[in-house]
Chain A
Amino acid sequence: MIAAGAPPLAIILTTYVVNMRHYLMAATLAPSFRGFRRRWLALIAHVIKTSRSPSPWRARGRPTRGSTSAARPPSRAPSSGVAVGTALGGLVERPERYGLDFAFPRCSGARGRAAAPANDWLVAIGAAVLAVALALVLPGNWHIVVAGLTVSALGALLLPLDDTTEPTGTRR
C-alpha cells in the first residue's frame, strides 16, 4: 500500500482492522498473566502475536521451567485445550487465513495424551455441529465467529464452574 501511494491513514486503519483479532487473543491470555506488574504487562502485550504466543507463565511471575510455548499448561484448562486442539487442529489447512492461528501454539507442542473433561468435548462438539450448520447458510467465515462465540458463551452460562475458573496468584 505504501508503494501504491495509499494515504497513511488508510494504511494505518487497515493495519488496525487486520490486527483486531488480537483483542480476543489478549483477553483469552490475560488471566494467565495475573500478578505481573503493569509495566511488564505493557511489555508482554507488545509481543503478543498470533503466529507464536507468549507462554502462559505461572502466576507469581515465574515462568515455567523450560517453557517456550503455550504448550506448557499451568492448569487443566490448557491441558484440555491441548487435547481438543491436538485432535482438531490438524484438520485446518491454513489457520492464519482465519486470523485464529493463535490457538495453535497450544497444540503444536503437545506431548502425549491429555484428557479433556467431558464438558470440554461437549463444547467442542456443539461448536462443530453449529458451525457446520451455519457454514451451509452463512457467507464467508462467519460460521466460525458465530458458532465459536455462541457455544462458548452458552457453555460459560450453563456448565458448572470447575477448578480452572479459580483466580490465580496476585503478585503486585
Chain B
Amino acid sequence: MSRVWLVIGGMAVATYLTRAPMFLALARRPLPPRVRLWLRLVPLAVLPALAVPLVLVRDGRLALGLANPALWGAAVVFVLAARGVNLLASVAVAVAVVALLRALG
C-alpha cells in the first residue's frame, strides 16, 4: 500500500513540475515583445497545423477530391463558424453532412 502512495505522490510532483516552472518564471517577468507575440501566435499556428491535415491528408496522400467527405464537413463547419453560428451546432451540422456523404458513398 505504501508503494502505491509513493507512486501517487511521485506522480503529483511530476505533474506539478510540468506546470509550475514556466508559469512562475514567465508570469512575473517582463517578456520581450517578440516573445509575447510568439506565445500569442503559437495557438494560432498549432490549431490549423492540427486540424487541416486531418481533413486534407488521408493515408499519407493528399485528398483534395470532392469525394472526400471530410472536406465537405470542413467546408460546412468553416462557413457556419465564420457566420457566427454556435460552434457545437456547426460541428453537429458538419458531422451530419459527413455521415450522410459516407452513407451515400
Binding site for B on A (CB under 8 A): 2, 8-9, 11-13, 15-16, 19-24, 26-31, 33-34, 36, 38, 41-42, 44-46, 48, 77, 80-81, 84-93, 95, 98, 100, 103, 106-108, 110, 112-113, 120, 123-128, 130-132, 135-136, 143-144, 147-149, 151-153, 155-157, 159, 161-162, 164-167, 170
A-B contact count (CB 8 A): 241
CB distance from B75 to the nearest CB of A (A): 10
Binding site for A on B (CB under 8 A): 3-4, 6-7, 10-11, 13-28, 30-31, 33-57, 60-62, 73-74, 77-78, 81-84, 87, 90-91, 94
What is the CA–CA distance of A165 and B61 in the complex, to the nearest angstrom?
Answer: 39
Contact between A151 and B62 (Cβ–Cβ < 8 Å)? no
Contact between A27 and B26 (Cβ–Cβ < 8 Å)? yes
What is the CA–CA distance of A110 and B47 in the complex, to the nearest angstrom?
Answer: 15
Contact between A123 and B47 (Cβ–Cβ < 8 Å)? no
- Residues A148 and B46 in contact in the complex (CB < 8 Å), given A33-B27, A123-B41, A156-B35: yes
Interface of B is mostly: helix
Contact between B42 and A19 (Cβ–Cβ < 8 Å)? no
- Other than the given A120-B44, A144-B53, 14 more pairs (CB < 8 A) read A22-B19, A31-B31, A89-B47, A91-B77, A106-B43, A128-B51, A128-B52, A131-B49, A144-B49, A152-B41, A155-B37, A161-B34, A165-B34, A165-B40
What is the CA–CA distance of A15 and B43 in the complex, to the nearest angstrom?
Answer: 24
Contact between B27 and A36 (Cβ–Cβ < 8 Å)? yes
Contact between B52 and A132 (Cβ–Cβ < 8 Å)? yes
